[in-house]
Chain A
Amino acid sequence: MDALLAADSAMDSVKHFVNVLCEPHWFLIISVVALIVFLLGYRWFTKPVVAGAIAALGTLAFIVSCQDPNFVKIVQKADNVPIVIMIVVVSYVLWLAFRQAAINDKRLEEGKPLLEAGADDKVLVWPDLVYIELIALVICTAALIVWAIMLPAPLEQPADPNVAPNPAKAPWYFLGLQEMLVYFDPWLAGVVFPGLIIVGLIAIPYIDKNPRGNGYYTFKERPFAISTFLFGFVILWVVLIVFGTFLRGPNWNFFGPFEFWDHNRPAALLNREPRDMFWIEFLQRPIPGNYILRELPGILLLGGYFLGGPIILLVFFRRMYRQMGFLRYSVMSFLLLTMLLMPIKMVLRWTLNLHYIVGITEWFLNV
């Protein structure tokens, strides 16, 4: 009996520890560190034995976690099942690409031909492609039918414009955008940044003209391009969807995966403004009435970030600057810094409750 109790309390402390690790700033930092460690040791991590062991451990942790009622409730929600599948699929596809990249990089070092050398990228429509399509069609249809029967679509009461569900969540593929809206002014997070994502993607062929890696898997030849892409995709998209799906609970507060979704859990999140910190706490003077002067500390911070950032980045990117020239380097560093601004602002909000770095509400300019 005592042993059981001891095991229970040990389990509780483990769950509590996981809940603490899932606090947003720890979760984000751990994700970034995990990505960096994976990229540094991709040859070791993608070995079938290692990757298989990680997958087995993850599955075991998932099964053990499913003993917890709060965890099961979140994971089994019909809306959230696709996200569980998405985590598995993204991990698998990452492994698949990096496994081939690891093999190719090794072969390049040994002077052997690449995996893809001499490969045909053409197959015959009939019978190869048509058969594959037919099989895929049958499997997808069957899977969707089984899924629809096992997990019926969640239907709720008729919509009432004066009542919002708590928490009110966007469809899963927009949860990353919804998470961005928590940290920036709506027109920035909802219009400018998504637009910038699309413009940035369009700009890639003009910024990155390096032909290496075309038609074959490699990481060693394109470490910067692939790392940047993975940061944008895994951290700024997949992790944000995981935040929105599993960690955002009632009143849009963060909840750990083993935590009960308590609608009345108190949360003190008093916003702080850089203007208050600078004028009142630092200079001990009243805040100036002119909004430019009022927001000067934030404007200087942000201006320094976007003007000084590219110069500081030159320490690492000197060779790249010589290859790219001024204009392309400026565009590249602007897009890169904008991308980095996202997690910086998020961590500032979580740790310091920083409201807006620049908050000119008069112009709807709140960054």
Chain B
Amino acid sequence: MSDHAFDDQLSELLPRLRRFALWLTRDLSSADDLVQSTMERALSTQAAKREDGDLRAWLFRILYRQFLDARRRSQRYAWLLGRLRQDDEPQWPSAERELLAQSALAAFEHLTPEQRSLLLWVTVEGLSYQQVADILDVPIGTVMSRLSRARQAMRRHGEGEQPAPSLRILK
């Protein structure tokens, strides 16, 4: 694939990547930082290594890894500052908050980043279970059981059932 064709494909996938990053980070500027480092990683990869597999799944994998790395770093940092709990509170940008309210998707907010990612990859992006397994580096059976938990959590937090406070803590 020529650089030019590759750039075009990246450019086309950019909105999806940003959307995914936004659902992970809940903040547009951190989301764009994440997308930027993902793009840099993608562009610095040897052309030969990009050929196999689905470009979209590969980019999601890079982005998700970067997100986890960044979170690990910031949690260490937050721990040092003694405000780990505070960081856990959801802080959606107002537009997203509105969207959540409108679409009655408030339940989504209570999921862990991995659960959100799983549901986005499978139901919105339509990635195969195998692709998701590759992204998370787990066997496909593990993907299925995590998907069950994500879907149950979505149920538990949605549809009128008020989440018991204890659930949050035990989760």
Q: Do A and B come from one complex?
A: no
A-binding residues in B (CB < 8 A): none
